[in-house]
Amino acid sequence: MADLINLIEDWIANLLLGWGASEELTLFLLQTLGSVLVIIICFVIVIALIWVERKLAGRIQDRFGPNRAGPFGIFQSFADMIKIFTKEYVTPEGAEKGAFNIAPVLAMASVLAIWAVFPFAVNVIGADIHVGVLYIVAVGAFGILAILMAGWSSNNRYALLGASRSVAMLISYEIPMVVSLLVPVLLAGSTKLSVIVEAQQPWWFLLSAPTAALIYLISSMAEIGKAPFDLLEAESELVAGYHTEYSGMKFGMFYVAEFLHQYTVGALVTIFFLGGWGGPLAVRWPILGVVYFYGKSFLIYLMISWIRLSLPRIRIDEMLNLNWKFLIPVSFINLVAVASVDRILLDLALPIWIDVGVLFAVNLLILLAALYLAGKSKPALERKEFPPRPVAVPPGTER
Amino acid sequence: MQSYWIYIGIFLVVAVAVPIIAVALPVLIAPNKPNRRKEEVYECGIETTGNIRVQFKSQYYIYTLIFLVFDIETVFLFPWAVSLGKLPLFAVIEGVIFIAILFGGLIYAMRKGALAWY
Amino acid sequence: MLLPALVFAFVSLVTLGAAIAVVTNKNILHSAYYLILTFVGVAAVYVMLQAPFIAVVQVLVYVGAIAILIIFAIMLTRRLMSKEMEQHNAQWVPSVVGALALFVVLAWIVYTAGWPVQEGTPPLDPISQLGQDLLTTYLVPFEIASVLLLAALVGAILIGHEKGMRREE
């Protein structure tokens, strides 16, 4: 009863072998079933997440959020889904048909493909490949390409401008993301995701590498285009950026991909810094590991939503300055410091809580030094002082 | 190990097939009445004027070039990070030299003004 | 034994077909898209050769950076954006003959050379093994790679630097 997932898997395998299927066909069918199950769970989660996000946004903005479609508005997502399925596709004139239609599929597929390598519980992992971390970064690159294709093939210069700015921002923030990912890889000694999660079991990497976690969170928030980095959408500026000309389910694909990407970032932060499926009794009962994994990812999702709903948008030149002049140097210095301290501590062979404490102190030191130095820099564009301008007042009240 | 990549292949096929089905389904159930006014390119409600292809800034290209150099640098750093536990202490210094050379390049780019977005 | 051969045949057909489409397509942006497909096909071949690290690095660097670079370069050049371009010039017959001759020579070399076959299995932890080799046996190429990347960075900045760019003090 404890090992529910493996029990079900063995039962299906025995069933298929009993029907006369060969070994390889059984494995193939089990793998197909597993991947379909993971993808269906992703879609179900996104439907729930859209409702959570809209309710949360409503409450933070001192309003109710959706409350008409069912009690507390829980059927709102289903209503939206039905509406989007029945909307007409309007293709702008002069758009390139091939790229225009492939872009939403590519954007969605690149986010879904990340779920192939996640460790859900102790021995429940889809594909425990040796290069798990690099696979995740490589698949994310397809999403960037999808944005470029969408912006170009719309035959709309605002979509093109939005897409180019998005791509410039996304590739800029990919560097601190990958460099801060090197820190958990270094601490765990492998790029296999299952080894990274198992290496965190008593002491999560959030304690050993908080600076890397912070940099990874900030860069990922820029990658998914959530505020304060949301000038990809910038609803009041570029209309809708690269997906201006999309309607119906193609727009729906971009929309769902964005929410799923936010949840996937939550899952990635969980795997790398929050101990993955770890928690009390997670090793004895793998089903608890799955619950912990999805639960922790949901907490990070809520945190990202909270930050998004509280902060204003920052300008693109401030954002790129932040990346190239602050995040990248800090992430490199952090990597060098953690690498040297970890290697020296490995030679000294102290008990593990001393290791964690020393690493935590080093990280905190770097973070405070970086924030102090950043506070002393001058802003990018000098603001001139303007003389006070005349203000219109009603006649008879002017001084 | 090969079976893991077969799983990834199957997963990718399913991950591409599900959005294709989702995008193809409305073709059956949604209306499709193309109309010349509907299909005009959007420009905040007015007629489109001017050339569609605007002149790009060259800053995009420079960002992509610098990103490419740092991307390859992180690719080199992955084997270093993984095998740091099994190597002598001097390996840390070797990696630091690698990072420091390219960090110097980043400082050069900053001073030259190549990273500014004007 | 049949299934790997089928998969390899499918992957190589896709790769070669995309490569032919790259050089024969009239629209240069579509050529760039087919080039991305070629890169992905080559990555699949690397996976079948049991080199997963090289496969994901191929996707990461080629599709993630170089393809975007190529597309931006196409977008920066307004003259290339016209839909129809000249596909060949007047000397296309000698060039086809030259390409076919090169192909025949390469195929003859590949088929008649005695490739030494080494017995052995891939290491259990390829990236760790790669790291250890890179930092002990091949240390000098590792450091020279960083100098090479620095040279590329400096060259890119020097070439792309516009005259009107402000400098940081």
What is the predicted pLDDT for the residue at C96?
A: 87
What is the predicted pLDDT for the residue at B54?
A: 62
More confident residue, B77 or A351: B77
Average pLDDT on A109-116 reads 93
Q: Any idea what the Cα angle at residue A107 is, between residues A103 and A108, rounded to 5°?
A: 120
DSSP single-letter state for residue A281: T
Residue A189 in tokens: 């000694």
- A280 — phi, psi (to 5°)? -60, 130
What is the pTM for the complete model shown? 0.90
Rounded-to-integer distance, Cα A184 and Cα A326, Å: 21
B38 touches chain C (CB under 8 A): no
Amino acid at A84: I
- Which of C82, C116, C132 is where one domain is finished? C82
- Which of C24, C59, C82 is where one domain is finished? C82
Tell me if A66 is assigned to some domain.
no
More confident residue, A316 or C109: C109
More confident residue, A1 or B77: B77
Counting the structural domains of chain A, the total is: 1
Tell me if C134 is assigned to some domain.
yes
Concatenated DSSP letters for B49-83? -S-SSPPPPTHHHHHHHHHHHHHHHHHHHHHHHHG
Rounded-to-integer distance, Cα A161 and Cα A150, Å: 11
Query: Mean pLDDT of all residues in chain C?
Result: 85
Question: Above pLDDT 70, what percent of chain B?
Answer: 82
Tell me if C101 is assigned to some domain.
no
**Cβ neighbours of residue A396 closer than 8 Å, sequence gap 6 or more:** none
Average pLDDT on A37-47 reads 91
Tell if the CB–CB gap between A185 and B78 is shorter than 8 Å: yes
Torsion angle, CA of A84/A90/A91/A97, rounded to 10 degrees?
A: 50
Tell me if B100 is assigned to some domain.
yes
Tell me if C107 is assigned to some domain.
no
Query: Which residues in chain B are closer than 8 Å to C165, comparing Cβ atoms?
Result: 113-114, 116, 118
pLDDT confidence of C169, banded at 50, 70, 90? very low
How far off is chain A from B85, nearest CA to CA, in Å? Answer: 7
Q: Residue B48: which CATH number? A: 1.20.58.1610
Q: Residue A215 in contact with residue A327, Cβ under 8 Å?
A: yes
Tell me if C3 is assigned to some domain.
yes
Residues C135 and C63 in one domain: no
Tell if the CB–CB gap between B76 and C127 is shorter than 8 Å: no
Helix (H, G, I), strand (E, B) or coil at B88: coil
Average pLDDT on B34-58 reads 65
Q: Which of B3, B75, B83, B86 to probe by mutation at the C interface, max C CB count within 10 Å?
A: B83
Concatenated DSSP letters for A82-116? HHHHTSPP-PPTT--HHHHHHHHHHHHHHHHGGGG
Rounded-to-integer distance, Cα C97 and Cα C91, Å: 11
Tell me if A77 is assigned to some domain.
no
Question: Above pLDDT 90, what percent of chain C?
Answer: 45
Concatenated DSSP letters for A158-222? HHHHHHHHHHHHHHHHHHHHHHHHHHHHHHHT-S-HHHHHHTTSSS-HHHH-HHHHHHHHHHHHH
Rounded-to-integer distance, Cα C24 and Cα C40, Å: 19
Nearest CA in chain C to A141: C64
Rounded-to-integer distance, Cα A176 and Cα A221, Å: 12
Average pLDDT on A330-337 reads 93
Tell me if A198 is assigned to some domain.
yes
Tell me if A26 is assigned to some domain.
no
A125, β-bridge pairs: A119
- C14 — phi, psi (to 5°)? -60, -45
What is the predicted pLDDT for the residue at A183?
A: 93
Rounded-to-integer distance, Cα B117 and Cα C5, Å: 51
Residues C17 and C69 in one domain: yes
Query: Which residues in chain C are closer than 8 Å to A164, comparing Cβ atoms?
Result: 72, 75
Query: Model confidence over C70-84: pLDDT tens digits?
Result: 988 888 776 555 556
Torsion angle, CA of C145/C151/C154/C160, rounded to 10 degrees?
A: -100
Residues C14 and C70 in one domain: yes
Q: Residue A187 in contact with residue A338, Cβ under 8 Å?
A: yes
Rounded-to-integer distance, Cα A116 and Cα B15, Å: 10
Rounded-to-integer distance, Cα A140 and Cα B28, Å: 31
Residues C10 and C63 in one domain: yes
- A365 — phi, psi (to 5°)? -60, -45
Question: Above pLDDT 90, what percent of chain A?
Answer: 29
ipTM: 0.89
Show the domain range for B22.
2-111
Q: Residue A220 in contact with residue A177, Cβ under 8 Å?
A: yes
More confident residue, A186 or A282: A186
Counting the structural domains of chain C, the total is: 2
Query: Model confidence over A66-98: pLDDT tens digits?
Result: 888 888 888 888 888 888 888 888 888 777 888
Counting the structural domains of chain B, the total is: 1
Tell me if B66 is assigned to some domain.
yes
Rounded-to-integer distance, Cα A220 and Cα A296, Å: 16
pLDDT confidence of B48, banded at 50, 70, 90? low
Tell me if B116 is assigned to some domain.
no
Of the listed ranges A80-84, A140-144, A240-244, C39-43, the least confidently predicted one is: A240-244
Tell if the CB–CB gap between B86 and C128 is shorter than 8 Å: yes
Is residue A355 over pLDDT 90?
no
Tell if the CB–CB gap between C63 and A137 is shorter than 8 Å: no
Residues C65 and C6 in one domain: yes
Locus of tokens 């410091």: A337
Q: Which is it for the CA torsion A205, A210, A216, A222, positive or negative?
A: positive
Helix (H, G, I), strand (E, B) or coil at C142: helix
Residue A310 in tokens: 């509280």
User: What is the number of other CB atoms lying within 10 angstroms of the CB of residue B64?
Assistant: 23
Instruction: Choose among B82, B101, B116: nearest Cβ to C166.
Output: B116
Rounded-to-integer distance, Cα A276 and Cα A201, Å: 9
Show the domain range for C150.
124-169
What is the predicted pLDDT for the residue at C167?
A: 45
Tell if the CB–CB gap between B116 and A321 is shorter than 8 Å: yes
Is residue C168 over pLDDT 50?
no
Query: Mean pLDDT of all residues in chain A?
Result: 85
Tell me if A227 is assigned to some domain.
yes
Tell me if B117 is assigned to some domain.
no
Show the domain range for A152.
87-375
- A125 — phi, psi (to 5°)? -145, 140
CA A179 to chain centre: 16
Rounded-to-integer distance, Cα A259 and Cα C144, Å: 43
Q: Residue C2: which CATH number? A: 1.20.120.1200
Q: Any idea what the Cα angle at residue A305 is, between residues A304 and A309, rounded to 5°?
A: 120
Residues C77 and C131 in one domain: no
What is the predicted pLDDT for the residue at A387?
A: 74
Tell me if B118 is assigned to some domain.
no
Query: Model confidence over B59-98: pLDDT tens digits?
Result: 888 889 999 999 999 999 999 999 988 888 888 999 999 9
Query: Model confidence over A189-228: pLDDT tens digits?
Result: 889 998 999 888 888 888 889 999 999 999 999 888 776 7
CA-nearest of A43, A144, A159 to A103 is A144
A336 touches chain B (CB under 8 A): yes
